[in-house]
Amino acid sequence: MKMPTGPRFAALAGLLALVMVATRFKHFGDMLHLPDASMAVFFLGGVYLRRHGAFVAMLLLTVALDWVSITYAGVGDFCVTAAYAFLPLAYGVLWYAGRWYAPRLNGQVRSLAGAFGVALLAAVASFAVSNGSFYWLGGRYPDPNVAQYVSRLWQWGPLFVRTTMSYIAVALVVHAVCARLAADSHATRHQEA
């Protein structure tokens, strides 16, 4: 898959940023709150945007949204600890896994399944980094130990990974539909020529 440029790049970056803003904190109220799509946005950003500068921009957006959430939207700062410094690594796992897989992605089922598999592995690794750093370095648990960490990993990991994979599955379906429409359009133009 070719990396988008110009207006297409800007549109994709804007769409991913919009999804991040719409899901990062509960600004529409509990009934309309969508699960946080941040992990999915970072994987999809790696797939479609790929640029290192775009990764940095998305990181800055997450920090800005967290600051606004805590400062103005009444969201607690429980998760903001020394471990917050590991979020770039956690999100980097997703971004660079997507960036690595991007040249292999097309509209074919096998390619889409491969993207889903890479995203799943990256989501698990990313969650392990963010959750592990929070647990071991966040200072919120007085006597951290491996058994308690594994218990918490199993408690929260499936939810975060399932949410991430749901967003990615939707994005891959949209990708497949768009690839099919583009192929049909290309074939029609070839027939008319």
The pLDDT assigned to 2 comes to: 77
The pLDDT assigned to 29 comes to: 45
CB within 8 A of 28, min separation 6: which ones? 22
Q: Which amino acid is at 144?
A: P
The pLDDT assigned to 144 comes to: 86
Q: List Cα–Cα distances, 108 to 7, 17, 35, 114, 135, in angstroms.
A: 26, 27, 28, 10, 40
Angle separating helix axes 146-192 and 38-48, nearest 10 degrees: 40
Question: 34-52 burial, b if ≥16 CB within 10 A, otherwise e?
Answer: eebbbbbbbbbbbbbbbee
Mean pLDDT, consecutive 10-residue stretches, the chain (193 aa), reads: 86 95 66 81 97 97 87 67 88 98 92 97 95 83 86 89 96 92 74 62
CA 56/CA 46 separation, integer angstroms: 11
* Residue 191 backbone dihedrals phi, psi, to 5 degrees: -70, -35
CA 88/CA 96 separation, integer angstroms: 11
- Segments in 28-142 forming alpha helices (H): 38-48, 52-72, 87-101, 109-137
Q: Are 40 and 48 contacting, i.e. CB atoms less than 8 angstroms apart?
A: no
The pLDDT assigned to 73 comes to: 63
